[in-house]
A and B are shown apart, each in its own frame.
Chain A
């Protein structure tokens, strides 16, 4: 068999040889001869060099011999630079599997979520310790950073919180109003929205927004600082990263969420008002029902939940950011993990609140 290399032996002309002739080379047996004809080659590139090496690799594996026609010394030069024996191992660089079985993936995800929860709780311990050192020396907390975090997490989030809060109130009112109207009690939609938003939905919806908007930003910001070795620099300056970077963010998240939550509640109540106004319920009746339904307990429960959820979002974001690996890919993973972790923690703690409130009959 003869394998003739073309005059311009570059990737465009070598590709057909790889596809059409190399399978034939792969079938040659011991004792057969392959003539590798490079006499006419005038220009060649890495793909031609690879073809020459592949021929030698096949010859070594299958036992056939190779004869050269190498007027331009293309083969000789290639073999001088590359030793075919070095490339004989096909399996040495098998890439790690990217996709495993679904069951394994589910199991791994469960373990990851459990570890996330443990990590966040451990991180809470670190933050509390740092918080205590802040109490001893209040000057160590970067007040300017904390205020900036409050502005970014709180003030800058007002438009999206307003929109989502308004729409949630609107949707709740539509869903419940259309059913209650059949019984002529649509005016009680106001009570439902008021209790639902103050006690549950306000804190929950705002926490989800905070997790997606601010928690992920914390994780990405701290992860990037880790990649840039800024965290290492802080450590070597004896400035604990948790106190210097995490505490302002966690405090900011915990501080702003109750306010955002109350804002979302009022926007939701306004959304409900619009629907009931469309159902010909007088404004005064609607607001009377709303304020009658508000109790101190409901407001306090909502605020406690908001404070807790804010704390969890801040902890999850900072924990994932500070524990990120040192690559761009890892920063993205940290941001994603912080959102997932926040949502899982919010759900778990919301469940705990529900059980506790049921037991305490509040």
Chain B
């Protein structure tokens, strides 16, 4: 159990008492790329938002590096919040700051490092995602793919052990999407970061996913768990096989 970075147990998620997901249990291991997948409206982003504490859990427990994100004390929640980074679908960069300032922001807020050090660290994070030459650009001046990479750099500013990415490939062309996939794999291999990625992009799922869970809008829970390729080839559920083989469904 020591290599578990995220543990979700019997989670029930929803808004204003309305249950969207139930009986959700899974674990993410250290250094793996874990995919949360499913069709539109099945609750992928809802699950992510509950996991990171943006919405109160209706029931169950989420632990990140052993710390409870909800249900524990303030100190435990803060420890949990410091241990992961998140990127959102749009990138969610602060428009009035340059990319460098965006990455510097968490370092300014949570460390006592001198400004030179903070700036160098931010530059190094931008270099990791290939954006150092654009450090002084504003988010409006860069492309969608660059925004996503800058968001990853900002999420990595405090060296979290887990990165959670919400639809990182959404709105990107296949080439940029593949570049982003390669970046994720490189960061996983060089820095040992575990990734939890919410996506329904099949190319990305097969390229980077070590393990995955598949959510279902009908049953509102996990209907499959395992390696994406194995699920595609051997899942007993037709719904799962069809998801991984859209061409077969059309044929």
Contacts and interface: CB of A to CB of B under 8 A. Distances in A.
A interface SS class? helix
A87 B96 CA distance: 25
| Most chain A CB within a 10 A radius of its CB, from B117, B139, B157, B158 | B117
B95 A329 contact: yes
B111 A95 contact: no
Interface string A64-106: 0000000000000100011000110000110110000000000
Interface residues of A, number: 30
Given A95-B101, A327-B96, A81 B121 contact: no
Contacts of A330: 95
A51 B111 CA distance: 15
B143 interface: no
B2 interface: no
Interface string B107-137: 0000111101101110111011000100110
Contact of A46 (B112, B114, B135, B156): B156
Contacts of A50: 117, 120-121, 124
28 contacts: A10-B159, A11-B159, A15-B113, A15-B117, A18-B114, A46-B124, A46-B125, A46-B156, A46-B157, A47-B111, A47-B113, A47-B121, A50-B121, A54-B116, A81-B190, A86-B127, A87-B123, A87-B124, A92-B135, A92-B136, A93-B119, A93-B123, A93-B136, A95-B98, A95-B100, A327-B140, A329-B95, A329-B96
B127 A82 contact: yes
Given A46-B125, A81-B128, A82-B124, A325 B100 contact: no
A18 B127 contact: no
A326 B123 CA distance: 26
Given A46-B157, A87-B123, 20 more contacts: A11-B158, A11-B159, A15-B113, A15-B117, A18-B113, A45-B159, A46-B121, A46-B124, A46-B159, A47-B111, A49-B121, A50-B121, A53-B120, A54-B117, A77-B190, A82-B124, A87-B127, A93-B119, A95-B98, A328-B95
A53 B124 contact: yes
Nearest to B104: A95
Interface of A: 10-11, 14-15, 18-19, 22, 45-47, 49-51, 53-54, 77, 81-82, 86-87, 92-93, 95-96, 325-330
A53 B119 CA distance: 12
Nearest to A331: B95
Given A46-B125, A326-B140, A327-B139, A15 B112 contact: yes
Q: Which 3 A-B pairs have the closest CB atoms?
A: A327-B95, A329-B96, A45-B159
A281 B54 CA distance: 62
Nearest to A45: B159
Contacts of B119: 93
A184 to B, nearest CB: 61
Interface string B151-178: 0000011110000000000000000000
